[in-house]
Amino acid sequence: MTSGSSAASKVLPARDPTIGARIPVARPLIGEEERQAVVRVLESGHVVQGDQVAAFEHEFADLVDGRECVAVASGTAALQLGLLAAGIGPGDEVIVPSFTFAATANAVRLVGALPVFVDIDPSSFCLEPAAVAAAVTPSTAAIVPVHLFGHVADMDAIGRIAQRHHLLVLEDAAQAHGARRGDRPAGTFGDLAAFSFYATKNMTTGEGGLVATADKALARQIRLLRNQGMERRYEHEIVGLNARMTDLAAAIGRVQLSHLPGWNDARRSHAATLTARLDDVVQTPTVAPGTTHVFHQYTLRHDDRDRLAQHLWARGIDTAVHYPRPVHRMPAYAVGPWQDTDLPQTQRACREVLSLPVHPGLTDDDLDRIVAGVRSFGDAQ
C-alpha cells in the first residue's frame, strides 16, 4: 500500500544511465538495533500480548504530554476505534478534509457515520476553519482535522468551533509525530488523536497505529475494542475487534521512537535547504508562524506538475503526488451525497502538488541533485 501515487508512473522517458543512484521519495530507516529488538522478542516467546506494547505506549506518551496511549494494528484502526469508542455512528455527520489519504474518511464510513467534506486552507493544505464552521449542522458530531504532511492544522480555531457546538475532535496525526503548534504537540489538541506507523511514516513499526487521549474512560474503551472487548480473558464486556499491535511491531517502534527527534530535525533541515534554494522557481511549502513542521512530505505546487515529475524521474529523482484525486471523487464515494460537493482549493491542490524526497536518509549530494533537477526544469522549457 502507498498513500501517494508515483508521479511519473504514466510516463517513462529514458533515464540517463550516467545519473547517480535513484533517490527514492521515501525510505524507511530500519537498522541493526531494530533487528536485535525483534530477535529478542522472538526469543522471548511472547510475540503478542507480551510487555513490549505496554512499554511502547508508555514511551510514546512522552510525545503527547503524558496522554494515555493505546497501540493498535494501524492508523486506520486508530481512527476507527477512536470514533467507535466515542460513540460516533449512524445518524452522525463527521467533518473531514477531502485532501487527505482516504483512510480519514473511510474510518468515518466504517463506523456508519457520514463524512462531510470541507475545503482546505491553500497555504497549509489543512482544514479551513471558516469552511468547517459553515459545514456544521444539527447532525454534526465530530471533526477530524488532518495534520497533513506533518503540519499541525489550525487547532485553536477548530477547537473553538468544536467547543461552541459540543463536537468531538479526533486529530488525524498519522503524518505528524512530533509536530507542534505553539507549545503543544500534535495529538494533544483533540479529545482523541490517531497516529500511524506505516512503513514510510516519520517513524514505523512496519504496520501499526496508536490512539492518544487524555480521557481515561475513552482509553479503556479503545483497549477493549482492540481486544475483542476483553480486559480479562474470555470475559467479553463489549463487542470488539482484533486490532492489537504485536510485540514485534512495538519493539521496532521503541527503537524508532528514540531516533524520531533526530530524524525530524533532519527532515526540517532538508526542507529548509530545498526551500532556500527553490523558492524562486516553484511554490515551496509554507510553515504557519508558531508551528513546528515535521515534513512527513515536502510538497510543492507547480502548474506543470506532471512534466516536472517526468523531468525529475529522468534524472533519477523519484517524486509522488499526495494526492492526485479528492477523496470524495474516488469510486468508493461515487454513491452517496457527495456529488454536489465543490471544493475548489482541494481540486486545485490535487492538480498542482508534487512531493520531493525529504527523508532523513538524503545526503548533501542527493539534495544538490534534487535542487539542480528542479531548477533545470525551467531551462528545459
Ligand X SMILES: Cc1ncc(COP(=O)(O)O)c(C=O)c1O
Binding site for ligand X (CB under 6 A): 3, 74-76, 100-101, 103-104, 146, 172, 174-175, 196, 198, 209
**Which of 273, 283, 272, 362 is CA-nearest to residue 317?**
362
Nearer residue to ligand X within complex by CB, 282 or 356: 356
Shortest spacing between CB 146 and ligand X, in angstroms: 5
Alpha-carbon gap, residue 107 to 132, rounded angstroms: 19
The least CB distance from residue 196 to ligand X, in Å, is: 3
Shortest Å distance, C-beta 85 to ligand X: 17
CB of 3 to ligand X, least distance (A): 4
According to DSSP H, which parts of 45-179 are helical? 52-60, 75-85, 103-110, 129-135, 155-165
Residue 316 to residues 43, 319, 354, 376, Cα–Cα distance (Å):
41, 10, 16, 14
Task: Find the residue with minimal CB distance to ligand X.
Answer: 75
Beta carbon of residue 192, minimum distance to ligand X (angstroms, whole number): 14
Q: What are the DSSP calls for 228-291, one per residue?
A: TTBSSTT-B-S---B-BPPHHHHHHHHHHHHHHHHHHHHHHHHHHHHHHHHTTTSBPPP--TTE
The H or E element containing residue 95 is strand 93-97
**Which residue number, 175 or 284, has a Cβ lying nearer to ligand X?**
175
Between 28 and 273, name the residue whose CB sits nearer to ligand X: 28
Closest CB to ligand X among 101 and 377? 101
Nearest CA to 169 among 203, 129, 196, 221? Answer: 129
Provide the edge-to-edge strand list for the sheet that holds 353-356.
5-6, 320-321, 353-356, 298-301
Q: Which is nearer to ligand X, 52 or 100 (CB)?
A: 100
Residue number, 213 or 310, with CB nearest to ligand X: 213
- What is the DSSP code (8-state) at residue 14? P
Shortest Cβ 204–ligand X spacing (Å) = 9
Cβ 8 to ligand X shortest distance, Å: 21
Residue 197 or 338 with smaller CB distance to ligand X:
197
Query: Which ranges in the chain belong to alpha helices (H)?
Result: 32-44, 52-60, 75-85, 103-110, 129-135, 155-165, 216-226, 247-278, 305-314, 344-352, 364-380
CB of 121 or CB of 366, closer to ligand X: 121
Question: CB of 130: closest distance to ligand X in angstroms?
Answer: 22
